[in-house]
Structure 1
Amino acid sequence: MSYSFSGIDHVQLAAPKGSEKEARKFFGDILGMAEIPKPANLAKRGGVWFQAGIHQLHIGIQDDFVPAKKAHPAFHVKNLEALRERLVENGVKVKEDERLEGANRFYVDDPFGNRLEFLEWTD
């Protein structure tokens, strides 16, 4: 084989037209992800990009938007309980799930209904 995978560059979630302000509030202000500039040739499409650790999260605008309920990104978090408190303080509903061996985790929906998972490995 002449190629190999070295990781994931970014994950893209869809959002409805005109939702950039709401995305900035949720992903930037509440979750604390830093916004990063989109390349000029892609900025005209709308949407907003964020840095999540060494990866990027791209929020893309989709005219016929339907939220992702099953397929979802899962974010590693240091101090998951502090994130949970921050989300609850901001009125975000936290959804518990079965414990994953070696990790604590929970889910939330972003403002557009996309499912997000947050987990912290304990082992």
Structure 2
Amino acid sequence: MLVAVDHVQLAAPPGSEDQLRAYYVDVLGMTEIPKPPVLAARGGCWFQAGAVRLHLGIAQDFRPGRKAHPGLRVRDIGAYAARLAGRGAPVTWDENLPGHRRFYAEDPVGNRLEFLEAVATASSGRSG
């Protein structure tokens, strides 16, 4: 039985690790976690924030994920969007998901990332 998503892997071009670290650590606020030595030899980086884990793997024939993307839940989405924008990361708001505020951003190699937060509704009485 499935119980959770362990991680999401995104692709990245060879030699992009420093750009990825700058974005995922400095802009998104994640922590880089060490890869096992046998996997570290392949390049790429792994990042974590709480239970959220993203793996960036090197692909020789890299093409950024422009449609497929991880959806990342955040708290205080307005402040988080301001954090990204303040660090030079463009934010594109999208109001098409009922019950949520969300925006899209791209990592430095062009992978699409979705950030979302549930909003309180009169019937639910709760907020995300």
Q: Do Structure 1 and Structure 2 share a fold, with TM-score over 0.5?
A: yes
Q: Taking structure 2 as the reference length, what is the TM-score of the superposition?
A: 0.90
Counterpart of 2:64 in structure 1 is 67
Q: Distance in 2 between matches of 1:65 and 1:59?
A: 11
| Matching of residue 21 in structure 1 with residue 18 in structure 2 | yes
Q: Aligned letter for 2:29? A: G
Counterpart of 2:79 in structure 1 is 82
Q: Aligned letter for 1:113? A: G
Match of 2:3 among 2, 6, 9: 6
Counterpart of 2:33 in structure 1 is 36
| Matching of residue 106 in structure 1 with residue 103 in structure 2 | yes
Q: Segments of 4+ in structure 1 off by > 6 A? A: none
Q: Taking structure 1 as the reference length, what is the TM-score of the superposition?
A: 0.93
RMSD of aligned Cα (Å): 1.0
Gaps of 5+ in 1: none
Gaps of 5+ in 2: 121-128
Q: Distance in 2 between matches of 1:50 and 1:99?
A: 29
Q: Distance in 1 between matches of 2:76 and 2:32?
A: 21
Q: Distance in 2 between matches of 1:52 and 1:113?
A: 21
Q: Distance in 2 between matches of 1:43 and 1:75?
A: 25
Q: Distance in 2 between matches of 1:121 and 1:15?
A: 30
Counterpart of 1:46 in structure 2 is 43
